[in-house]
């Protein structure tokens, strides 16, 4: 009887077999591998058939030409996989892999119910960038500028640098991230600087399958509670929060305005629902559309809406300038896009949040919060702290 691991060694995928999706997760190794798991599928890519070049052409043109070149070179069904930075002028990390293994979603694999091993005790040194007090002051400054009518919303982020005198165990972190939230989007891809971007995002930017598109913006959040009654109270309060409903509406209206011209039909619910992760409740709206032109790719749609007000602000250009003024670091791949797309235009592209960039020296974690006129600096600082929990739990560190 052929085992799943023997199937992987032959360069095949035994789709539908028990253990196939978790075998891809188990097989991941940083460096040459790229891993992506969604509620629809699990992907593990090996090697590089070719890279998407970084030049003056639009990204969608470069990806289309790269996929066409790979098909002409003998790849029957080429796929591009990787990450795109927040700053559209910065280099991407996109490749057509030499080998791509596909499996059903992790959530359908019974073996994913087995928990990942707990993190080994490590004396992490945690350095906030900036200090929480400085972050709160930046939020307060942004609130004052919003109140003056300068702009409507900005998303401000902060980072944590974790060091421990040893290289992070990236496969173990990925296991814990993936098994903790099997309904989200888990990823691990090499960065242009030689590190690894890994995380577990709850937010689908856009997917396309044939002529159907789906987008699922999240905006407006509150931390979960270990107490069930309090957790339910927080969820109910989020659904009625004037501040969070306004923040969410800004994002949904912006995405509707961008996506509607691409669609012959676009369905947008009148009110948001709730999505939960292990650490957060989020307001969520699922937009579903039928493309007027089925040749428009998932990546083209993703690039059209990126960056949304959920990770940048509104108006977009002004919010980006405020981010440059108030954030003391380059976001890099954080709040960019991660995912995959094929030569037919199908694909899944996810907002790069709840993530970290890992190097031999340590980890940089990121978290952000949407700032509007009614934002409270202490509450936004606490929200980013709660969002850090996704990754801090995966490495066994405390804030």
pLDDT over threshold 80, residue 94: yes
DSSP state string for 48-75: -SEEPP-SSS-HHHHHHHHHHHHHHTT-
Predicted local distance difference test score (pLDDT) of residue 1 = 31
Average pLDDT (327-355) is 97
pLDDT over threshold 50, residue 158: yes
**Structure confidence by residue, pLDDT tens digits, 233-265:** 999 999 999 999 999 999 999 999 999 999 999
pLDDT band for position 32 (cuts 50, 70, 90)? confident
Q: Does the annotation count 203 as an active-site position?
A: yes
pLDDT over threshold 70, residue 5: no
Predicted local distance difference test score (pLDDT) of residue 240 = 96
Let me know: does 197 contact 94? Beta carbons within 8 Å. no
Report CA-CA distances (Å) from 386 to 126, 224, 279: 15, 8, 7
Q: Is 341 left (phi over 0), alpha (psi -120 to 50) or beta?
A: beta
pLDDT over threshold 50, residue 168: yes
Per the prediction, the chain carries an average pLDDT of: 93
**Cβ contacts of 348 within 8 Å, gap of 6 or more:** 36, 38, 40, 41, 185, 204, 207, 298, 339, 340
pLDDT over threshold 90, residue 118: no
Report CA-CA distances (Å) from 211 to 40, 48, 128, 393: 17, 29, 44, 39
pLDDT over threshold 90, residue 396: no
| Lowest-pLDDT choice from 305-314, 319-328, 384-393 | 384-393
Predicted structure pTM score: 0.93
Which residues on neighbouring strands pair with residue 397, listed in sequence order? Answer: none
Annotated catalytic residue, options 203, 247, 300, 357: 203
CA angle, 123 as apex, 117 and 129 as ends, to 5°?
Answer: 105
pLDDT over threshold 70, residue 108: yes
**Cβ contacts of 235 within 8 Å, gap of 6 or more:** 222, 274, 276, 281
CA angle, 74 as apex, 189 and 17 as ends, to 5°?
Answer: 55
pLDDT over threshold 90, residue 86: yes
Annotated catalytic residue, options 14, 75, 92, 153: 153
What SS3 state is found at 188? Answer: strand
pLDDT over threshold 70, residue 6: no
pLDDT over threshold 70, residue 16: no
Predicted local distance difference test score (pLDDT) of residue 13 = 44
Predicted local distance difference test score (pLDDT) of residue 17 = 66
Written as six digits, the tokens of 104 are 């059903």
pLDDT band for position 2 (cuts 50, 70, 90)? very low
Farthest-apart Cα atoms in the chain, separation: 70
Average pLDDT (154-168) is 94
Helix runs in the chain, H state only: 4-9, 20-27, 59-72, 132-147, 170-180, 228-240, 242-259, 298-305, 316-326, 377-395
244, burial (CB in 10 Å: exposed 0-12, middle 13-18, buried 19+): buried
| Lowest-pLDDT choice from 12-21, 177-186, 187-196, 291-300 | 12-21
Q: Does the annotation count 153 as an active-site position?
A: yes
């Amino acid at each position: 009887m052929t085992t799943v691991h023997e199937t992987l060694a032959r360069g095949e995928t035994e789709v539908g077999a028990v253990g196939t999706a978790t075998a891809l997760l188990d097989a991941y190794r940083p460096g040459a591998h790229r891993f992506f798991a969604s509620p629809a599928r699990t992907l593990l890519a090996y090697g590089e058939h070719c890279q998407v070049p970084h030049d003056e052409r639009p990204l969608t043109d470069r990806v289309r030409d790269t996929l066409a070149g790979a098909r002409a070179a003998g790849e029957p069904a080429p796929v591009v996989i990787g990450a795109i930075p927040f700053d559209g002028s910065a280099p991407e990390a996109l490749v057509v892999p030499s080998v791509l293994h596909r499996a059903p979603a992790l959530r359908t694999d019974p073996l994913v119910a087995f928990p990942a091993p707990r993190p080994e005790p490590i004396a992490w040194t945690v350095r906030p960038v900036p200090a929480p007090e400085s972050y709160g002051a930046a939020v307060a400054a942004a609130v004052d500028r919003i109140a003056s009518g300068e702009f409507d919303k900005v998303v401000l982020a902060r980072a944590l640098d974790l060091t421990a005198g040893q290289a992070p165990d990236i496969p173990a972190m990925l296991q814990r991230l993936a098994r903790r939230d099997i309904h989200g989007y888990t990823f691990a891809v090499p960065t242009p600087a030689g590190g690894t971007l890994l995380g577990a995002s709850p937010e689908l930017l856009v997917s396309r399958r044939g002529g159907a598109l789906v987008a699922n913006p999240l905006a407006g959040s509150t931390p979960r509670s270990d107490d069930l009654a309090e957790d339910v109270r927080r969820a109910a309060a989020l659904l009625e929060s004037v501040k969070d409903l306004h923040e969410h509406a800004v994002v949904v209206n912006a995405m509707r305005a961008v996506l509607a011209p691409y669609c012959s039909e676009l369905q947008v619910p009148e009110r948001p629902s709730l999505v939960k992760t292990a650490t957060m409740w989020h307001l969520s709206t699922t937009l579903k559309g039928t493309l007027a032109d089925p040749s428009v790719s998932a990546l083209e749609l993703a690039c059209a809406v990126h960056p949304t007000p959920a990770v940048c602000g509104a108006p977009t250009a002004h919010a980006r300038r405020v981010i440059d003024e108030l954030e003391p670091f380059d976001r890099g791949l954080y709040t960019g896009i991660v995912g995959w797309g094929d030569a037919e235009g199908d694909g899944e592209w996810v907002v790069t949040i709840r993530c970290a960039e890992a190097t031999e020296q340590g980890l940089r974690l990121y978290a952000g919060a949407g700032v509007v006129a009614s934002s409270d600096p202490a509450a936004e600082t606490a929200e980013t702290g709660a969002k850090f929990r996704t990754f801090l739990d995966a490495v066994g560190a405390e804030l």
